[in-house]
Amino acid sequence: AQKITQTQPGMFVQEKEAVTLDCTYDTSDPSYGLFWYKQPSSGEMIFLIYQGSYDQQNATEGRYSLNFQKARKSANLVISASQLGDSAMYFCAMTTYNQGGKLIFGQGTELSVKP
């Protein structure tokens, strides 16, 4: 069975510093995709970044990068130069080829950025 684990319920970071949010996953399917979503206090789910299991390089999108360590089955999100607007819940999610696009979500990490 597929599973996503986020072990950090809450994180604090100083404004302008970098922060890493942890995500580990479990699947026996060799073909899978990993997503990160941001959920601000307003409630909407915002897509941030994607990493495919066969991608050779770590994904990057602006200030977001994904530290993909396939052997360790981890897909950590790195946010550089944190901003106050980064304060939100962050969810890691996975889909596999056999799941046909259905997403499995972790429990989320609440990030608070301090001025």
Partner 1 sequence: NAGVTQTPKFRVLKTGQSMTLLCAQDMNHEYMYWYRQDPGMGLRLIHYSVGEGTTAKGEVPDGYNVSRLKKQNFLLGLESAAPSQTSVYFCASSYSVRGLQETQYFGPGTRLLVL
Q: Which residues fall within 8 angstroms of residue 60, CB to CB, at 6 or more apart? A: 49, 66
Q: Which stretch binds partner 1 (CB under 8 A): 10-18, 20-28, 68-76, 103-111?
A: 103-111
In the bound state with partner 1, the residue whose beta carbon lies nearer, of 15 and 52, is 52
Out of 3, 12, 40, 47, the residue judged to bind partner 1 by CB under 8 A: 47
Helix (H, G, I), strand (E, B) or coil at 85: helix
What CA–CA distance (Å, rounded) separates 104 from 55? 20
Gyration radius (Cα) of the chain, Å: 14
27 binds partner 1 (CB under 8 A): no
In the list 7, 14, 31, 69, the residue contacting partner 1 (rule: CB under 8 A) is 31
- Asked whether position 25 contacts partner 1 by CB under 8 A, the answer is no
C-beta of residue 22 within 8 angstroms of C-beta of residue 74: yes
Report the C-alpha gap between 111 and 24 in whole angstroms. 18
Stretch that binds partner 1, among 11-19, 42-50, 62-70, 71-79 (CB under 8 A): 42-50
Q: Which residues bind partner 1 (CB under 8 A)?
A: 4, 31-33, 35, 37, 43-45, 47, 50, 52-53, 91, 93, 95-97, 100-108
